Amino acid sequence: MDGTDVATQADHGSSDGHHEHRSRWPIVAAVGAAALYGGVGLLLAGGSLVPRLPFGGLAVVGGVLLVVGLVGWTYEAFVADYWTERVDRSQLYVGGMILFLVSDVATFAAGFVYYAFIRVGPWPPSELPPLLGSLVLVNTLILVVSSGTVHLSHGALEKGNRKRFIRWLAVTVALGVVFVGGQVYEYYEFVTHESFTLSGGVFASAFYGLTGLHGLHVSLGVVLLASVLVRALRGQYTEGRDAGVRTVALYWHFVDVVWLFLVVVLYVGAVVG
């Protein structure tokens, strides 16, 4: 094998989508999430005993890092190679997704711990809105069904059924959009008709904080699913090139599970308790 052959193989290896690449963005997002909730937690726990400004600054910096990390990672994993056929590269981001989800578990756990402290006191701390209405039930059903449709979509891709893969993926995107719309409508009803606002007490802050954080995650998931759908329409996924689909499906299942916890703890738990 001469030098020309070696150079040709090297060039081919660098352009087939399998070159080694480690993304820093999931780590940036994870550090940002930790700083954000660490700062908020210290800010709430410190009271008047410690200066509040440093903790507030830590929370702000953490929030900025979280947003920058999410945007950078989303662009690098799903947008940067949009105009090429190289989708195998997204395999390298599965580990990053798992790391991000681990940090997200800690993030939501911190919110649930805050809510647990609220429940220790007299309950309810203030008048509660009608939490167990038909809207939350419909929204829950929509999200559970969407978890099934994204699973069916990925299964169809693994079997080489491109049409069914795209069809179920489009249904999942539509269900995600409807869920976000339902969440916004619920906020509108609570604020305008029930006067249940963010400043309405400790339960209101926990409710809007946790459901709002989850809503942001769902919105990001819809964007990722839509990106995958567009690439699927361009024929960039096959049964052997599905890492991007698996990564987004994993994320979508995660936000579905978190929503079920929110319904049990915030909606049902607040009323039954």
For residue 214, give the amino acid letter.
Answer: H
Structure tokens at 51: 């200066």
User: 131-273: which CATH architecture?
Assistant: Up-down Bundle (1.20)
pLDDT for residue 69: 76
228 or 34: which leads in pLDDT: 228
- Asked if the model's pLDDT at residue 20 lies above 80, the reply is no
Q: Where are the domains of the chain?
A: 1-121, 131-273
Strand partners, 241: 238
CB atoms within 10 A of CB 30: 22
pLDDT at 123: 79
Tell me what pLDDT residue 215 has.
Answer: 92
| Of 223, 222, 209, the residue nearest 115 (C-alpha) | 209
Helices (H), the chain: 3-15, 25-46, 53-74, 94-120, 134-158, 162-193, 202-233, 243-262, 269-272
Q: Is the pLDDT of residue 72 over 80?
A: no
pLDDT at 3 over 50: no
Highest mean pLDDT among 37-41, 114-118, 244-248: 244-248
Do 94 and 247 meet the contact criterion of CB atoms below 8 Å apart? Answer: yes
